[in-house]
Structure 1
Amino acid sequence: MLNKDYANYQQQKTDYEKKLKQYNSDYAAWKTYMQNPDFVSGQTDWTKDELTTFLSGDGANVTYINSSKNIKLNMGNLKPVSQAEFNTVKAASYSKNIIQTMATPSTDKYVMVKLTKGSYFKYTNAVVNTKTGHNVDIKFTANNIVDKTDNKLAHYVVIDKTDMGVDQLQPIKSVAWGLDFYKTGTNTAENMDPLVGLGDIDGKQYAKVTGSDSMIYGKNLTKGANGLVTSSDETVDPDNTHNQAWYLLKNVTHMDYTYGTNDNPNSITRWSDDYWTIGNIDFAMKLKTPPVKPTAPKVPTKPVEPKKPIAPQEPKKPTEPKKPVEPKAPTKPTAPTAPVKKVEKASYTLTKLVVNEIKQFNAKFIEKTD
């Protein structure tokens, strides 16, 4: 059996060495390419040189935050609203809201939840970290919620299940989100160089990513402090680069992101929404994902030699029983001694009377004899 396993291992090792050789070649080519990625000209607000400067010439370590094919939503501490609650909000919502495409609080694409400060959910297998090759989970936490009614109404959002995005229903004005990166299936923080692309920032919407190392933004947006970009009242096509903002962060396991609106509709009516998604827009520099390194086969384990059986011991000769001791004849019982008759001791007075009578008798006897 071991010989067969070893033969299989040798074949697997040969195949692995071929794949590893191809991987090393592909990786070298990929790294060379990423130093000078292809540039797609056309509708873009930036030149190739500007984008190269934006990437700091280090595209080989950049991970574009864009939903993978294997992405899956983990609800965290949230749950879908009830059907009755869903129906009430839907009836008061604008006709073009995402919620109008839903018949129930949870569909294959979306789920409607009630959001409070501290609410969180997670996208598992969201992206692949270019630097490590690890699959990465991204946890979204609502760190702060600002609304237009001083919290008189509940806050509802619709979470996208297949793309990293959220539809913030008014009266929500803005939500400050914290994003944490973890190695998939663990609580181990994953260090990354995330490239964050935000598109379709229009209709008085605004976005902010704090702590970025570099940033570029389209000509329809106005830059503010701490990575803030704001839009005018104009509504544009989602793919329009004039309304895009891009951020690059380096060596981080966490990022802070805010999305909101400066629009002020009727404060009570839930008539509008603000949908955002991270990624899902094309970057003019065509960044490629690195090749996947093959896994080396495991060396077969030599089976443990069974222990030599212990020879049975010769049975011990049984001890011959001792001859029983002949019982002794019983001792002849001793004849009981006759009890001694008890002589009653006369009283002193009786004795004295008897002596006196004897003396009188003797005296009479002598008298008669004479």
Structure 2
Amino acid sequence: MRLPSLASIFRLGLKELKSLWADKTLLLLICWAFSGAIYEAATGVSQELNNAPVAIVDEDRSPLSQRIADAFYPPYFRQPAMIRLAEVDAGMDSGRYNFVLVIPANFQRDVLAGKSPDLQLNIDATIMSQAFIGANYIRSIALGEIAEYLTGTRAAAAAPVRLSSRVLFNPNLKGFWFGGVMEAINNVTMLTIILVGAAFIREREHGTVEHLLVMPLTPFEIMLAKIWANGLAVLIGVSFALAVMVERVLAVPIAGSLPLFLGAAACYLFAAASIGIFLGTLARSMPQFGLLVILCIIPLMLLSGGVSPRESMPQFIQDLMLAAPTTYFVRLAQAILYRGAGLDVVWPDLAAMSAVGAVFFVIALLRFRKAVTQTQV
């Protein structure tokens, strides 16, 4: 058994890069994934309240009720629509209003008399996270205006304790800071699996597998060549995404070391590429490979902690996903890019990811050798 030839791996990798350059569809996918998709993911889905349509039913028509109505203004809310009580259900059913505040008759009189009158807030909960945020905003606005009307100040009554909040890593609580960076992290997984698996399918469809088999190449060398060539394209793409799209275009600061993240991503590429090669050996055509990729990538993205915290998932899912290298990669990537963690912090995840990735690499190599043997037969 001869040792792997670095020269053969390098030359075969160059052939992979030339094949990738000739495949304009995959090139377009790479360009979009690390440019337009980053911007779209960051700005297309807003986690903050923005221009929410609100209506007010003012049955009191007093200076206090007018004061509350005037307190709603952009960018959080649109100019409130003043409607009648009979229009509430129709407005909510049609989606014209996300929030409807009902101020009852004699509201100002009851407030001045020391009573505790109720304000009714109708909320369209189909807007999910914004429903909760908007309800808190409206509550703060109403209570603040009432307090200022009665006492001349918006300060609340003294509490027995004082809670001082200190917001770290995202002081303005901007949701798009999370979306753009996570899209770049997730696209490393997606494109690595797609590019490496598609490279194997392309060899089979073009009939060049037989050419490789008659050359003095081992399956190990073929796999390494595909991994380094396609991995290089992914690393260049994610470097552009973070340095240009995230830091320049979106103006999102990267807290940690970009070289450290790229080094960790290079280690992760072996695991993700091994998954792509394994799927490529199972599929017989590009459409089959596409279906397998969907079944594989979606669980990896949804359950690895990139979309929602792993702690909120069932314990069985948390334990199961420890066998996936994506779990460790997402966790260390977030630590580096969001919180500025160094190697002394992320090395346990890096070691675990490398170990799990080595297992995936061995499994893919065994499957690849079997596929090559079947082709020779």
When normalised by structure 2's length, the TM-score is 0.22
Which is richer in helix? 2
**Higher gyration radius (CA):** 1
